[in-house]
């Protein structure tokens, strides 16, 4: 499909600088732009590419002023990143023709008591157990398991290989990527006098609210009692572990390989970096931001930034990082001073010996 710069500008409510009739047919990164492609510039770090790119159209901010001549047409919008994300979504919809798929492929097992909504697609080798409800327009792809008494809302996309345990409750417009597990047992064991561990039954469930996206190979444990919650609008990356009775706040984002221990509550709009470890039974305030690989074992106040392991406030961590980088130099200077002290001690001993004679 082809679109003119003018059509793109009208769609994004932007303005044009350059040839409004130029056509684009694909999206690309600005550094890889070529004739017929559409790019965006949001990060000033990439501005140099604007003056060398071969892209036909580039989306930029309304107040952006080029420091050099440009060969492409500029579409100026309020927020280039958000505008480009809208175009990516439309482009993705056009590519994924199976978005309109419906019906049930064979072989599948669907329990007679399951309730399947309108325009639902269920791929081959899926298992839908007793009393499951699936809302309208949802897509359940191959080899998905949905346990009994679970509910999947409308307009959901459950990708191949996802396993959803019994009594899980999923809202609307949820996306779960391949091989993620929702509702597995929480990690609960009671130590015994003989050194063994007795399993504690996990009788709760998982509740995922509307507009949540969960990456591939992420695991969300069901609660020991009550529910593990993923609140509305939260976004979870790949390879994340969410333990039993965790409560992930609305519009919170968690990057890959993070682990959140049992009964910890994350406030709304938190940002959790990659490989962050969060201990159990904590409360992280609304708007908490945690840098990659940080370790959190304490409650946090609202709208604070934390880095390092053990974690420190951002400014303290930055100062400590500067000192840490200088440690080899400091160590060398200490060793040199120690050597000089030893030399001085030897000289003093010689002087004292001479004086005593």
Mean pLDDT by 10 residues, the chain (357 residues): 91 94 94 94 94 96 94 95 89 66 93 97 97 97 98 98 98 98 96 95 97 98 97 98 98 98 98 97 97 95 92 80 83 90 88 78
pLDDT at 356: 76
pLDDT at 209: 98
pLDDT at 99: 58
Phi, psi of 88 (to 5 degrees): -60, -40
Residue-wise over 165-183: b if at least 16 C-beta within 10 A, else e?
bbbbbbbbbbbbbbbbbbb
For residues 19 and 21, what is the distance between their CA atoms, to the nearest angstrom?
5
For residues 207 and 226, what is the distance between their CA atoms, to the nearest angstrom?
10
What six digits make up the tokens of 290?
């945690």
- Report the predicted TM-score, pTM, of the whole model to 2 decimal places: 0.81
pLDDT at 205: 98
Given 111, 177, 244, 281, the catalytic residue:
244
For residues 202 and 245, what is the distance between their CA atoms, to the nearest angstrom?
10
For residues 202 and 262, what is the distance between their CA atoms, to the nearest angstrom?
12
Alpha-helix runs per DSSP H in the chain:
5-12, 47-50, 80-95, 314-325, 327-356
pLDDT at 90: 80
Active site residue 244: yes
**pLDDT of 196-229, one tens digit each?**
999 999 999 999 999 999 999 999 999 999 999 9
The answer for residues whose C-beta is within 8 angstroms of residue 41's C-beta and 6 or more apart is 30, 47, 49, 50, 58, 59, 60, 61, 64, 80
User: Bridge-partner residues for 110, per DSSP?
Assistant: 128
pLDDT at 331: 87
**pLDDT of 71-113, one tens digit each?**
999 999 999 999 999 988 887 777 664 556 789 999 999 999 9
Say if CB 244 and CB 228 are below 8 A apart: yes
For residues 222 and 201, what is the distance between their CA atoms, to the nearest angstrom?
11
């Amino acid at each position: 499909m082809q679109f003119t710069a003018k059509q793109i500008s009208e769609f994004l409510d932007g303005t044009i600088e350059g040839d409004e009739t130029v056509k684009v047919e694909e999206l690309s990164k600005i550094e890889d732009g070529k004739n017929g492609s559409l790019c965006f510039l949001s990060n000033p770090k990439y501005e140099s590419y604007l003056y060398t790119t071969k892209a036909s159209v580039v989306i930029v901010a309304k107040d952006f002023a080029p420091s050099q001549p440009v060969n492409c047409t500029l579409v100026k919008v309020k927020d280039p990143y958000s505008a480009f994300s809208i175009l990516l979504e439309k482009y993705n919809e056009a590519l994924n023709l199976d978005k309109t798929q419906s019906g049930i492929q064979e072989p599948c097992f669907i329990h007679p008591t399951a309730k399947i909504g309108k325009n639902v697609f269920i791929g081959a080798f899926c298992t839908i157990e007793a009393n499951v409800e699936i809302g309208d327009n949802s897509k359940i792809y191959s080899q998905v398991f949905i346990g009994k008494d679970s509910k999947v809302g409308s307009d959901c996309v459950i990708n191949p290989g996802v396993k959803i345990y019994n009594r899980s409750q999923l809202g609307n417009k949820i996306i779960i990527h391949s091989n993620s597990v929702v509702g597995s047992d929480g990690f609960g064991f009671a130590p015994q006098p003989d050194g063994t561990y007795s399993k504690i039954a996990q009788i709760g469930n998982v509740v995922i609210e509307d507009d949540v996206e969960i990456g591939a190979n992420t695991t969300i444990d069901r609660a020991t009692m009550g529910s593990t919650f993923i609140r509305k609008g939260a976004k979870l990356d790949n390879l994340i572990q969410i333990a039993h009775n965790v409560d992930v706040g609305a519009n919170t984002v968690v990057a890959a390989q993070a682990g959140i221990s049992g009964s910890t509550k994350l406030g709304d709009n938190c940002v959790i970096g990659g490989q962050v470890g969060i201990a159990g039974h904590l409360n992280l305030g609304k708007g908490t931001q945690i840098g990659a690989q940080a370790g959190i074992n304490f409650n946090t106040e609202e709208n604070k930034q934390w880095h390092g392991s053990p974690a420190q406030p951002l400014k303290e961590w930055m100062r400590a990082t500067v000192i840490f980088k200088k440690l080899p130099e400091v160590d060398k200077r200490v060793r040199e001073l120690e050597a000089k002290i030893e030399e001085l001690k030897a000289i003093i001993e010689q002087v004292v010996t001479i004086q005593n004679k």
